[in-house]
Structure 1
Amino acid sequence: MEVMRNVNGKLLRCGYTTGACAAAAAKAAGIMLICGSPVRQVSIGTPKGIDLTFDVLDARITAGCANCAVRKDSGDDPDVTDGILVYAQVEKRVQGIVIDGGAGVGRVTKPGLDQPVGEAAINSVPREMIMKGLIKTAEQHGYEGGFAVVISIPGGEELAKRTFNPRLGIEGGISIIGTTGIVEPMSHQAMADTVRLELRQLSAAGVNDVLLTPGNFGEAFARESLGLSTENHVKCSNFIGVAIDAAVELGFSRILLVGHIGKLVKLGIGVTNTHSSFGDGRMETLLACAATGGAELSLLQGITQSVTTDAALTLIYEAGLLKETMAELEKRIGFCLQRRVPEGVTIGFLCFTTAQPMKGILTKSANADELMEIWGIRK
């Protein structure tokens, strides 16, 4: 089943994440392992709530083992993984489900990523999708044992050289990722235009206040952790500056930005398009904020060597300087946002992390509580 999206009047085809492909291949291999016969197609559910059906390729069954692949389709917004084969090898075990990466799947070598050091770079949501598919398969076929799953991608090691994986500390292959199972077909221009269109629609409906979130994490945190209504909400993706400018032009009087530290930290050096291709500066910003907060040289060196903001924050937290560092970051983000809006427009922000032990709100603007009351947020 093809999933389509209307983007600025043009019908575009969605793609599927590597995580969805891995889950589909694993489910098909699990069915073959239990039933002893090849499978031509397999269907899976996704966190997006959309069921997907994949053709099953290169199906092989040997003694106690089943292998097969599905082809990755990136839709009308292709990336380096478009067309690759994602393989799953599934074997029986006494109980439980064990998931690992084989050839072409990266291995985590630095802390701060979704998976611990030493684990295959198969992120949490794809792992959950794989497990759910196999559990359902076992229940449907009366199988009470467990599974050992190995996901592999031929050519993945070479493909990874064209991604950010080596820089992030993922070696030997690509990552199995995705939070929804679906790849939305959006070019930079199309996404920016969509953000403007959604703001224009709210303005036309007489709305004066808008909540902005960069993505799924921000929206989920605002709704689930803060109790916020997302009725007057626009997901601005990486286009924070575009969204603010458009909101100002359309006459919005109050703007609240809620986002993960990994995105909002870039505002600390004035980067308002947070896509990696437009610049980074995350560690440099945290380093400067920590230095202002009194960090010693050893901590600053640790920050520069971190591959994610959460990894750097953990070091800052352990040094007892999180409060001081976030106070400086609040000033920098506030300066960036305030210079973007004219007098008479109120703008505030709230920055959070989902990583332990800092999980929750890290810093917020002085007017955030007032804005949250407007949106009816439970503080």
Structure 2
Amino acid sequence: MPFEYYITKNNKSYRCGYTTGSCAVMAAKAALEYLFTGITPEYSGYTTPKGIYVSAGVSDLKIENGAVSCCVIKDGGDDIDVTDGLKIYASVRKIENGISIDGGEGVGRVTRKGLDCEVGAAAINSVPRRLLKEETEEICRKYGYTGGIEIIISVPNGREAAEKTFNPRLGIEGGISIIGTSGIVEPMSTRAIIDTIGAELKVMKGSGAEGFIAVPGNYGENFIKGIKGLEGAETVKFSNYVGELLDFAAEYKFKNVLLAGHIGKFVKLAGGIMNTHSSFADCRMEILAAHTALYRGADVCREIMACTTTDEALELLEKYGVFHQIMDSVAGKAEYYVNMRTRGFVSCGVIIYSDKRGLLSAGKNGKKLVGEFGGEI
């Protein structure tokens, strides 16, 4: 059956869609079913990491040189982007052993360090890769097959679609990425997100809270829970809307706000950028290069400017012996701007981390607030 799932935010109903990763999984499952049974499936589905069962129609089934291929059409629900309507194909065939997963036409290749995939690999992120492997293993067990399977994911119009994304700037060339950590696309308007943040803070203040810890999303939340003493800490998620979060904090007269975020987003705070979405502003390398110029010359700054990811830039900072100075400088400037946003009515602290390196730096007030919230860094 077709996928129909809705969420309600601020009394409005939004139709959910499914990610390119889910499309790849469903297409692969359908192709495998035909490979083992010879029966053409009308629909394919699976239970997403979010625990929601998603299904979609299957089309364009073909058999060529021992391989079966078919496609699922990407549906973003009410959250339309450049991948909506693309045909995501999976081709499967039997091999001697193991499960091989690769990208074909229209799936990008990773050319720079710091992304979810290794350099040279197809841009099929870790969660979709894991799901493809797990669902394939389950189908093989179902039919008593003990050999190997090769899976090739392709998107015929992926190269053209990728030109409208940030993939080329991130070092992903030749196509789109197959992504999706939850498997589901949950749409929500910008206004709805901001209103939800405000409503949550209003409730917190009403319950007597004088301060709170804020993070962009799940990764930030997991980082906070990894700090000694903050394992059970509650966090407020603000997506990319740092400025609006701080405006609410001042409006509701909170005393303290501790902001924790990934370097890729929070380096922007050091430039006074209060919306961290890539479509709103980037300037990551420009800001890092400006801080680097305080300690190193133009040649090093030029190398920083040539970087694609913050992880790549961090490696250079370490190479030139200015890693800690730059991180402390960035954290300090980020604290300056977030406190400027609240006009001094709220005491704001900043801590910055990366997935690979953990804690990178904390501003002076960030360290203080970690302690006040019961943590230790």
TM bucket, shorter chain: over 0.9
The residue number in structure 2 matching 1:312 is 313
- Distance in 2 separating the partners of 1:156 and 1:347: 43
Q: Deviations over 1:89-109 (max 9, x none)?
A: 011122222211111111222
The residue number in structure 2 matching 1:69 is 71
Cα distance 1:227–1:64, how it changes in 2: closer, same or farther (>3 A)? farther
Unmatched segments (≥5 aa) in structure 1:
none
Look up the equivalent residue of 1:265 and give its one-letter code: V
Secondary structure of residue in 2 paired with 1:327 = helix
Cα distance 1:108–1:237, how it changes in 2: closer, same or farther (>3 A)? same
The residue number in structure 2 matching 1:260 is 262
Q: More deviation in 301-310 or 199-208?
A: 199-208
The residue number in structure 1 matching 2:342 is 341
Cα distance 1:28–1:114, how it changes in 2: closer, same or farther (>3 A)? same
Q: Is the 8 A contact 2:113 2:311 kept in 1?
A: no
The residue number in structure 1 matching 2:170 is 168
- Distance in 2 separating the partners of 1:374 and 1:133: 46
Q: Deviations over 1:228-270 (max 9, x none)?
A: 3566422100101110110111121121111111110000100
The residue number in structure 2 matching 1:97 is 99
The residue number in structure 2 matching 1:277 is 279
Look up the equivalent residue of 1:322 and give its one-letter code: F
Q: Is the 8 A contact 2:227 2:375 kept in 1?
A: no
- Distance in 2 separating the partners of 1:106 and 1:65: 22
Q: Deviations over 1:33-67 (max 9, x none)?
A: 23332222222222223222222222234553221
1:328 aligns with 2:338: no
The residue number in structure 2 matching 1:6 is 8
Secondary structure of residue in 2 paired with 1:277 = coil
Look up the equivalent residue of 1:362 and give its one-letter code: L
Q: More deviation in 31-40 or 157-166?
A: 31-40
- Distance in 1 separating the partners of 2:32 and 2:374: 47
- Alpha-carbon deviation of 1:343? 4.0
1:363 aligns with 2:364: no
Cα distance 1:226–1:137, how it changes in 2: closer, same or farther (>3 A)? farther
Q: More deviation in 208-217 or 369-378?
A: 369-378
1:1-379 matched pairs, under 5 angstroms: 1-62=3-64, 64-224=66-226, 228=230, 232-292=234-294, 294-343=295-344, 345-355=346-356, 359-377=357-375, 379=377
- Distance in 1 separating the partners of 2:180 and 2:151: 18
- Alpha-carbon deviation of 1:8? 1.4
- Alpha-carbon deviation of 1:276? 1.8
Cα distance 1:226–1:354, how it changes in 2: closer, same or farther (>3 A)? farther
- Alpha-carbon deviation of 1:377? 3.6
Q: Is the 8 A contact 1:38 1:60 kept in 2?
A: no
Look up the equivalent residue of 1:178 and give its one-letter code: G
- Distance in 1 separating the partners of 2:262 and 2:173: 26
Matched positions, count: 375
Look up the equivalent residue of 1:300 and give its one-letter code: C
- Distance in 2 separating the partners of 1:250 and 1:277: 29
- Distance in 2 separating the partners of 1:327 and 1:267: 13
Cα distance 1:226–1:135, how it changes in 2: closer, same or farther (>3 A)? farther
Q: Is the 8 A contact 1:38 1:61 kept in 2?
A: no
For normalisation by structure 2, the TM-score amounts to 0.93
Secondary structure of residue in 1 paired with 2:213 = strand
Look up the equivalent residue of 1:102 and give its one-letter code: G
Secondary structure of residue in 1 paired with 2:84 = coil
Q: Is the 8 A contact 1:21 1:72 kept in 2?
A: yes
- Alpha-carbon deviation of 1:192? 1.7
Q: Deviations over 1:351-375 (max 9, x none)?
A: 10012xxx11001122334422443
Q: Is the 8 A contact 1:106 1:175 kept in 2?
A: yes
Report percent identity of matched pairs.
45
- Distance in 1 separating the partners of 2:354 and 2:301: 20
RMSD in angstroms over aligned alpha carbons? 2.0
For normalisation by structure 1, the TM-score amounts to 0.93
Look up the equivalent residue of 1:320 and give its one-letter code: G
